[in-house]
Amino acid sequence: MKEYKVVIYQEGLLGSLLLGASKVDPVRFSEFLNSNAEQGWRVVTMEKDIRRMLLLWRREAYLVIMERDR
């Protein structure tokens, strides 16, 4: 039997406010993925999303779907 988890991974709002746009930091994103892998989670799929904030700022995000055995 499988168990699933859906996570929206995005950087903090500060980068968007200061720079007008915020991209996901690949080092932090790798740490996030490795931390979940240590708990037995495996990425099934993910999708990149650009999220608007207050109509002026953009923030990059990833919708990550993970699974693991129960």
- How do residues 7-32 score in pLDDT, each as one tens digit? 999 876 654 444 445 677 888 899 99
Q: Residue 20's pLDDT is what?
A: 47
Task: Give every CB contact of residue 57 below 8 A, 6+ residues apart in sequence.
Answer: 16, 17, 20, 21, 22
Distance of alpha carbon 41 from the chain centroid: 14
Between CA 33 and CA 41, with CA 67 as vertex, the angle to 5 degrees is 35
For the full predicted model, state whether its pTM sits above 0.85. no
Location of structure tokens 């995005």: 10
